[in-house]
Amino acid sequence: MSEALVCAERFSYAYPERAQPGLCDVSLELAEGSFTVLAGASGSGKSTLIRALCGLVPHFHGGDVSGELSVGGMSVREHGPGELAAVCGTVFQEPETQVVMGGVRAELSLPVEHRGHSAAAVARSVEEVALALGVAHLLERRTDTLSGGELQRVAIAAALVHRPALLLLDEPTSQLDPVAGDELIWLLRRLNEEWGTAVVIAEHRLERCLPAADRVVALEAGSVVCDNAPADFLSWAAAAGGALATPVARLFSLAGLGPLPVSVKAARDRLRDAGLAPAASSPADLEAQPERQGSSARMAPEERRPPSIFSRRPRAQPALELRGVWHEIEDGPQVLRGVDLRIDPGERVALMGRNGAGKSTLLRHLKGLADPTRGRLETAGPVALLLQNPGDYLIHEHVGEETGTRGLAAAGLSERAGASPRDLSGGERQRLALEVALGDGPGGREGEVSPLDRLGGCQGGVPPLDRHYAAVCLDEPTRGMDRASRTALAERIAALARSGAAVVMATHDTEFAAEFADRVVLMGEGVVIADGTPSEVLGGGWHFSTDVARTLAGAGGALTPEAGARMLTRELIS
Amino acid sequence: MRGSLVPVYRSRPSPLHTARAAASAGLCASLALVCAVYEHPLVLAAVLAAVVGAGLAAGVGREIARAAWLAVPLALLVTLINPLVYAEGETLLVRGATLLGHRFDITLEALAAGGLAGLRLGAFTMVFGLASACVDPDELLRLFRRVSYRSALTASLATRLVPVLARDAMRMGDAARCRAEPPGRLAVTRAAVSGALDRAVDVAAALEVRGYSAGGRPERDRRPWSRHDLRAGAGAVLVLVAAVAGRIAGAGTVTEYPGLDIALGPAELALAACVLLGAALPFAGRATRLGVARV
């Protein structure tokens, strides 16, 4: 690292027609070859800072600027994004809207052609960046045939094809599944280490990128509130309430251990040094010790049938029951292959599995958006479904038109009824879309009133529903959410479950599943491959596991920082 | 895009796909020129046959069939509307009623004129379908960027946004079905359209950070002409020359009113043969068997 690539001095910015500044007195210097993570809650100014660094602020968005910000020696006040693009490449959140051309090769050629390079230079740049970023096999593909992860890699390649010194990324993993997200972070790490490209990344899932970072800048209401090395940042975050602390850092902090580790590896090393390293357990261990886990072995091999519904204790009428449900595409794959599943009222189920495992299709069946090609599906009443994109539910000009006063109150948006849904944060949109899907409008709707609603009234400060749902299904609801939004969503889901609705959530977010669910159903290739409590399914997993479980090697089935800290404290006392 | 009536380009190892965009687009443009210049049924039928034959040979038969789903109703519509609008012609087929002082008679000539106009529109649509399925839009836009940089880039953005917006609309339709009280189609359409504006702003921002405002023009394509380029180019030239020469020679004349008169002689036959030959030329010789790389 050497001289400053980015230099900000009391830089402030306000979007047009907004009273609150997007950035407020930001002063920082970023060195060449550095890897910087921008942390902060939704709306803290991370995206605005990224947009200022690439020149979109103020040239594209307009607004008022004060102070100074220079990138590669060019002031962003005088130089627009076209000129700054020579120094920095930028990648945004949404993979689909970053790709301009129809083919990958044309997409990668475009930035260098813009700079008037010769055909030979363009061809060489494309070849080199494609090989360096592992997208050479995609060069002849059409962009509309790529997955989200592939599109995001192509977007990064397009941002780097002219070899800028700085790469800016605005929550690049928020729309990706965990595997694609982790691959992307490893790619950035390699770029930074092997080619010395400076990286600035805004990200909510800090546990992913802190091990690669050498600096963390935390923002709050547009101001820099912490600018430190990752370990020091974690100490600050733990002291500041833990909203920005990683799960492993929270585990150590709650257990009173220090210093706080940046990665799972560092955490395990420190536990080992302190003589607290727990014995490792694996899926095989879990199978071998059913009595310790309190149930039969759940991590069944594929050839073994999923646990029989009759092996469970007799229960009341289920909220949902699937018997041998198949979804076979006429000229395509079998998405669901004889799924048997019974979910009781009030159960909170996390549906997990890799992309294409059949999670979303299963939810669409539950709602009635798709019909089984074979098998039976029974529900005890209406089913609500929140699909992956909450914005798709918001079709009016004002928030208040989307749902009634009760729905607004449940979403915590009573004060924002006059705002445009487009101005809401990701978390707010998600909460509003959930209320829209639940149809909690003014004056009530026809339908049964939940007995629990009638008895208990408002649970957890959330107004009761007029309509009783047998199940509420959510498809990837925590994508791109900060911790505060996830907590608010978890509270709403808990209230729905208390009202008697089964809650089924398809998710890749193991941390959220560990906190929210009382049952985890793991799917693979259209069948249920594991079904049990979160500790049973996530405790001994490798990929489907939480950071805390990895740190503690699945010991005691502890998944959350709180449970892990309790276990560690017991160990320390003993 | 699944289900779309407009064929979408997919890279394939066919001579028409492998030829440079200038050559394959030139062939499609010359076929379109024939549709624009001639109304003769034999010539238009030759264009249709050329499109179907070239499509099948290029492995895009399914895409051409999809284009036909668009072309046939359009052609039928024009065929049926024309005799209702024009009552000229000597051969009365149906004596219609009088409505608002206008008598709706249907004549053979008006029906034939409608049929020819429909055939022309259908052939034109099919040529467009062939071009959409076989000509790489990126390469084509790259050609146009040399002429009109910003217009071509705007066009490329528009073509890129079409499938994105179609997917958005499909998702919004599903979300509407998930609402406790599904909204009307109009509300969903309005939301999809206003969402398109947001999408466009996002794509414009992405373009800005890719250095769009630097405004450099791509260099001229200096690749040597491959045998596929040469054959497709020769086909385009053959059809173009035949069309122009035929027009100068007065071939393919059709008179609909007052009496139907369709010329049919060696000139028309030769023109139709040239159209078929021109479309077949790219597929002459040994077929490309491996890979999709430009030769």
B238 CB neighbour count, 10 Å cutoff: 18
A395:B206 CB<8 A: no
Assigned token pair, A372: 């089984």
According to DSSP, residue A556 is labeled: G
- A472 to chain B: nearest residue by CA? B178
Which positions in chain B touch A83 (Cβ < 8 Å)? 214
User: How do beta strands A223-228 and A348-352 pair?
Assistant: unpaired
Coil/strand/helix, residue B68: helix
Structure confidence at residue B198 (pLDDT)? 81
Question: What are the residues whose beta carbons fall under 8 Å from the beta carbon of B216, sequence distance 6 or more?
Answer: A113, A114, A115, A116, A117
Nearest CB to B210 within list A110, A141, A394: A110
Task: Give the architecture-level CATH label for domain A302-538.
Answer: 3-Layer(aba) Sandwich (3.40)
B150 touches chain A (CB under 8 A): no
Question: What's the pLDDT tens digit per position in A267-278?
Answer: 999 998 888 777
B34 within 8 A of B243, measured Cβ to Cβ: yes
Dump the DSSP string for A496-527.
HHHTT-EEEEE-S-HHHHHHH-SEEEEEETTE
Distance CA A33, CA A83 (A): 21
Question: What's the pLDDT tens digit per position in A379-429?
Answer: 999 999 999 889 899 988 899 988 888 888 888 888 889 888 888 877 888
Coil/strand/helix, residue A3: coil
Distance CA A465, CA A496 (A): 9
A140:B187 CB<8 A: no
According to DSSP, residue A460 is labeled: T
Structure confidence at residue B168 (pLDDT)? 83
Extents of the domains making up chain B: 15-141+226-283, 145-214
A166 within 8 A of A200, measured Cβ to Cβ: yes
Disruptive mutation site among A76, A137, A331, A392 for chain B (greatest number of B CBs within 10 Å)? A392
Assigned token pair, A488: 């608010």
B96 touches chain A (CB under 8 A): no
Omega prior to B258 cis, within 30 of 0: yes
Question: What's the pLDDT tens digit per position in A115-160?
Answer: 888 888 999 999 999 998 889 999 988 887 888 788 888 999 999 9
pLDDT tens for each residue of chain B, 295 residues long: 445 667 888 888 899 999 999 999 999 999 999 999 999 999 999 999 999 999 999 999 999 998 999 999 999 999 999 888 887 888 888 887 777 777 778 888 999 999 999 999 999 999 999 999 999 888 888 888 777 777 777 776 777 677 777 778 888 989 999 987 788 888 888 888 888 888 888 888 888 888 877 766 777 777 889 999 999 999 999 999 999 999 999 999 898 888 888 989 999 999 999 999 999 999 987 554 544 444 3
Extents of the domains making up chain A: 4-249, 302-538
A239 CB neighbour count, 10 Å cutoff: 10
Q: How far apart are the first and last CA of chain B?
A: 28
Nearest CB to B216 within list A99, A116, A438: A116
* Å between A295 CA and nearest CA of chain B: 37
- A366 to chain B: nearest residue by CA? B178
B187:A395 CB<8 A: yes
B208:A56 CB<8 A: yes
Among A203-207, A566-570, B21-25, which range has the highest average pLDDT? Answer: B21-25
Q: Which of B45, B40, B5 has its CA nearest to residue B276? A: B45
Distance of CA A255 to the CA centre of its chain: 26
Distance CA A92, CA A480 (A): 13
Structure confidence at residue A464 (pLDDT)? 57
A98:B179 CB<8 A: no
A537 within 8 A of A513, measured Cβ to Cβ: no
Question: What's the pLDDT tens digit per position in A23-57?
Answer: 999 999 999 999 999 999 888 999 999 999 999 99
Coil/strand/helix, residue A390: helix
Flag whether the ipTM exceeds 0.90: no
Which positions in chain A touch B204 (Cβ < 8 Å)? 60
A24 within 8 A of A12, measured Cβ to Cβ: yes
* Å between A118 CA and nearest CA of chain B: 6
A478 within 8 A of A507, measured Cβ to Cβ: yes
Burial class (CB in 10 A: 0-12, 13-18, 19+), B142: buried
- Report the range of poorest mean pLDDT among A77-91, A351-365, B114-128, B216-230: B216-230
CB pairs under 8 A between A and B: 167
Nearest CB to B178 within list A158, A159, A437: A437
Residues above pLDDT 90, as percent of chain A: 49
Same CATH topology for A4-249 and A302-538: the answer is yes
Dump the DSSP string for B109-158.
HHHHHHHHHHHHHHHHHHHHHHHHHHS-HHHHHHHHHHH-HHHHHHHHHH
The radius of gyration of chain A from alpha carbons, rounded to an integer in Å, stands at 25
Cα dihedral across residues A152, A158, A159, A165: positive or negative: positive
B199 touches chain A (CB under 8 A): yes
B210:A102 CB<8 A: no
Tell me the pTM. Answer: 0.80
Which positions in chain A touch B206 (Cβ < 8 Å)? 92, 97-100, 155
Disruptive mutation site among B6, B20, B210 for chain A (greatest number of A CBs within 10 Å)? B210
Q: What is the dihedral of CA A184, A189, A190, A194, to 10 degrees?
A: 150
Dump the DSSP string for A156-169.
HHHHHTT--SEEEE
CATH node for A4-249: 3.40.50.300
Q: In what order do the strands lie in the sheet with A348-352?
A: A383-386, A471-475, A502-506, A348-352, A519-524, A527-532
A100:B207 CB<8 A: yes
- B9 to chain A: nearest residue by CA? A142
Q: Which of B161, B158, B163, B187 has its CA nearest to residue B173? A: B187
Q: Which residues of chain A from 77 to 136 reach within 8 Å of chain B, CB to CB?
A: 80-83, 85-86, 89-90, 92, 94, 96-103, 105-106, 109-111, 113-119, 122
